[in-house]
Copies of this chain bind each other. A is one copy, B any other.
Amino acid sequence: MNTNVQKAFAPWFDNLNQEQLDKIAENQVSLNYNKGEILSKQGGFASHIIYLTEGLVKIYKEHNDKNLILKIVKPGEFIGLSSLYSKGIFDYSAASIDNSKVFSINAEMMQFLISNNSDFAQKIIAHLNANTTQYFERIISLTQKQLHGRIADAILHLSRVIYKSDKFNMLLTRRDLAEFCGMSTESAIRILKEFHNDKIVNIEGKNLEVISYQLLERLSEVG
């Protein structure tokens, strides 16, 4: 197993023995995706689990020509874990929103690790549960809040979870942002402009700077 792989997986695989590490090395492929390229398609075979090491990926559901972005995946996270032990079909699509590097691991390999290494299994469960908690928050945001609250949630998430900075290039198009917030592109644009005019954030193209976290949080709360 080469050092890159070892480094990337470190937090996940530091309890594996040599036999297990060797087995991974044999069942893993490293891939690059350009911005805009599709990693996996809703309905396709989920024969592999993807581990993101660089870049940014959106996971989205396609429904009647409209997409909803379920999650934005950053390096260090898996894509397709939720298809493990299921019917083996992806129930969402994944596309790169920045040049990305991934390791693609055989699904059976993951199952092998889970059944042979209980530490690993526990980490996977913890990871799945953290995801679920995140999805619950998103369900609330998307169903109980109005446009302003949803955009505020999205900006807070991008700033705190994804880019970890108050100033960032969000990479997402307005349409992506709209699909992340479950609204029309036009609405997303309008709210973004309002936030800019009200000096809650500073926006220039895709560059975004948060001016007042306090106001964003307030908007997030009142819905």
Contacts and interface: CB of A to CB of B under 8 A. Distances in A.
Interface in A96-120: 111, 114-116, 118-119
A92 interface: yes
Interface string A122-136: 101110111111011
Contacts of A91: 133, 136
A6 interface: no
A115 B117 CA distance: 9
A210 interface: no
A136 B66 contact: no
Q: How large is the interface on A (under 10, 10 to 19, 20 to 34, 35 or more residues)?
A: 35 or more
A94 interface: no
Interface stretch (A26-34, A137-145, A169-177): A137-145
A177 B70 CA distance: 24
Interface in A139-171: 139-140, 142-144
A107 to B, nearest CB: 12
B139 A85 contact: no
